[in-house]
Amino acid sequence: MLEHFELQDLSFPLLIKDVLESHFTGILFVSHEGYKKGIIFKEGNLCAIQSNRPEELLGEVMVHLGMISQKENEESLSTARIERTKQGVILQERGVIGPQDIKNALRVQLQTRFLDIFSWEEGQVQKITKDHIDTRPGLSARELSTLV
């Protein structure tokens, strides 16, 4: 099932309330001023968020957190693109970061991508219900409620 609406008509907090209460499984595509995000839910649990905001890329988050330098970010991102692998894998292989660092950075990235949308007063939403989502939840409904 596909629904279209404007954030002016249904605010993001109310949309998330509905997602949690209905145990929604599917994807919310939200766009605003050229920025686009895809928010994946499984039974009301937040699984992942895709974003086209450059500052929300994992490497940028790790630079902001002081885990890596900007140079390490640029070099590992370049290598990841050439080798078609994840940047975190490259950084781990180089001994720059450990698995716990990636886990922490991914959690911060997820929260940053999600909380950013709360500042959007305008924008478009596409809500697509799916029968099944294979992705494991990144946050439980309780963690999401706490974050909200």
**Residue 73 — very low, low, confident or very high, per pLDDT cuts 50/70/90?**
very high
How far is the C-alpha of 141 from the C-alpha of 70, rounded, in Å? 34
Please tell me what DSSP assigns to residue 117. Answer: G
Can you give the pLDDT at residue 146? 72
C-alpha separations of 16 from 35, 54, 129 in Å: 19, 24, 14
Render pLDDT for 101-119 as a digit per residue (tens, 0 to 9): 999 998 899 889 999 999 9
Q: For residue 96, is pLDDT > 90? A: yes
SS3 (DSSP) at 36:
strand
**Residue 94's closest CA among 72, 74, 69?**
72
Mean pLDDT of 33-60: 93
